[in-house]
Amino acid sequence: MAQSHDPEIRRYHHGDLSRALVQAGRRILESEGPQALSLRAVAREAGVSPAAPYHHFKDKCDLLTAIAKEGWMELGVAVAKARSQAPDARAALNNIGVAYVCFARENPALYRTMYDSACDQAAMPDHAKEADSGWRHVREALIDAGADPNDEHELEMATIGAWCAAHGVAEMVGFREFEPLKAALGGEEAFVRAILDHVGIYARRPMPSGRD
Amino acid sequence: MAQSHDPEIRRYHHGDLSRALVQAGRRILESEGPQALSLRAVAREAGVSPAAPYHHFKDKCDLLTAIAKEGWMELGVAVAKARSQAPDARAALNNIGVAYVCFARENPALYRTMYDSACDQAAMPDHAKEADSGWRHVREALIDAGADPNDEHELEMATIGAWCAAHGVAEMVGFREFEPLKAALGGEEAFVRAILDHVGIYARRPMPSGRD
DNA sequence: CACCGATCTGAACGGTGTCAACATTATCTT
DNA sequence: AAGATAATGTTGACACCGTTCAGATCGGTG
């Protein structure tokens, strides 16, 4: 029983406010930045009174978490797509890294919200551990690229390392200081590829002996 | 002509409000988190009216920037110290990485403020490029460890890579998901060392040929 | 139909960033 | 030393924010 599809008619009950609030939040986030994302502004954008959101989210933080969750899911999709389109296992790892950073760069406010939310709870969102998450894809791509699937410890360390590297690059690549380098390398994506390559986890070869 | 050293006597003029405001801000940051850091609270903590800070900082953002700058300078000191205490060049790089992450973990709210401030202006603070900055130390440590001091491009890429890796680790190491791993490795510092080692930039050996 | 729970509104509270007008003090000029 | 001027502080106000609560409205269930 769908309603609320006619923007002219405003019913007392919205019909699908939760979703509308999350979408409104994302719109504000992208168009006006994190500073402008107030609960009241979200309610306004959704055409509803300032108190209405409290029937769907207990907090402002709760809404932010919901927005962040959407972001994490889309990141997972982007990573999965990048992986599936790669010609070989090695390229898959590189593409995942680039896709990760690109997502962060294309949705900067959303990405920041995602990590703020994660840092506040000192944990990645539950979704990160689920089947279609980016995390899982990195792990599997590492195995495809030659990591020992039985060495659980090594596998987790490598996944963490790759994720950390991508996160670091994602948050720093926008700095102005790097503009000349980006230009020299022929664009931001090339720059990202080069840094990720330097960070090494993606290009790592097995150590001959112990560790040096 | 020093005054304001007697906490009982409150003069109309404070004497060194800028500094007092920054210190008050840091105190609030550490003790109550970034959410509690309001301009009014800072003014209150400094024993001054809510409008007084505007004679020293044009914005709340401006005060945050000042706080962040202090953080960057202390980070630089920590990195320098870690580097100078290392037995050899290779250890210096590792120690820098660990010191960086430790600083972030010991001053989480400050570290977050530092990066928020940097991201807002899409640039590292000017200080990062100066003589005693962490950035400069990483660069020099890379040279000490064998990087070609004449290959400016390579050098800058390596520095960026190392910095990105450290930043990524710094922000993710606190996640609860990693508690078991930390315990297995014997504490957080060991965990950090292991990840940084995995991320590879610190342990990188020259590529035999072109790139694969 | 009567009722109930879910949903939305309106008004209110304390807190916030910021500004303008005014008070006080420090400093410089003469 | 005296008075002008700039620096620094205060008070009060405005708009906005997160949040709560009492009441209005609506969808569905007996």
Cβ proximity of A12 and A24 under 8 Å: no
Contact state of B167 with A171 under an 8 Å Cβ cutoff: yes
**Residues of chain B where predicted confidence (pLDDT) is lower than 70:** 1-10, 12, 127-129, 200-212
Our measurement of CA A23 to C1' D30, in angstroms, reads: 37
Please name the residue of chain A whose CA is at the shortest distance from the CA of residue B196.
A161
Residue A183 to chain B, least CA–CA distance (Å) = 13
Cβ atoms within 10 Å of B121's Cβ, excluding its own: 13
pLDDT of residue B209: 36
Question: CA torsion angle for A136, B173, A71, A172 (degrees, to 10)?
Answer: -110
Helices within B1-88 (DSSP H only): 17-32, 39-45, 60-84
Nearest to A195 by CA among B110, B157, B79, B56: B157
Cβ proximity of A83 and A137 under 8 Å: yes
Our measurement of CA A60 to C1' D20, in angstroms, reads: 14
Return the residue matching tokens 């019913």: A11
Which of B123, B167, B181 faces A176 most closely, judged by CB atoms? B123
Which string of b and e fits A128-157 if b means at least 16 CB within 10 Å? Answer: beeeebbbbbbbbbbebbebeeeeeeebbb
pLDDT one-digit tens code per residue, B106-156: 999 999 999 999 988 888 877 666 778 999 999 999 999 888 999 999 899
Interface probe, candidates B164, B182, B191, B202, chain A, greatest A C-beta count within 10 A: B164
Contact state of A119 with B212 under an 8 Å Cβ cutoff: no
CA gap A44, A21 in Å, rounded: 10
**Residues of chain A where predicted confidence (pLDDT) is lower than 70:** 1-10, 12-13, 127-129, 200-212
pLDDT of residue A132: 80
pLDDT of residue B10: 62
Please name the residue of chain B whose CA is at the shortest distance from the CA of residue A211.
B203
- Listed as ranges, the nucleotides of chain D within 7 A of a protein C-beta are 7-13, 16-22, 25-28
Residue nearest C24, CA–C1′ metric: B12
pLDDT of residue A206: 43
User: Which chain A residues are closer than 8 Å to B123 by Cβ?
Assistant: 175-177
Return the residue matching tokens 């430790």: B102
Please name the residue of chain B whose CA is at the shortest distance from the CA of residue A124.
B175
pLDDT of residue B185: 96
Return the residue matching tokens 């600083």: B103
Which of A90, A194, A199 faces B201 most closely, judged by CB atoms? A199
Cβ proximity of B176 and B154 under 8 Å: no
pLDDT of residue B206: 42
Task: Spell out residues with C-beta < 7 A from strand D.
Answer: A 1, 11-13, 38-41, 50-51, 54, 59-61; B 12-15, 17, 48-52, 55-56
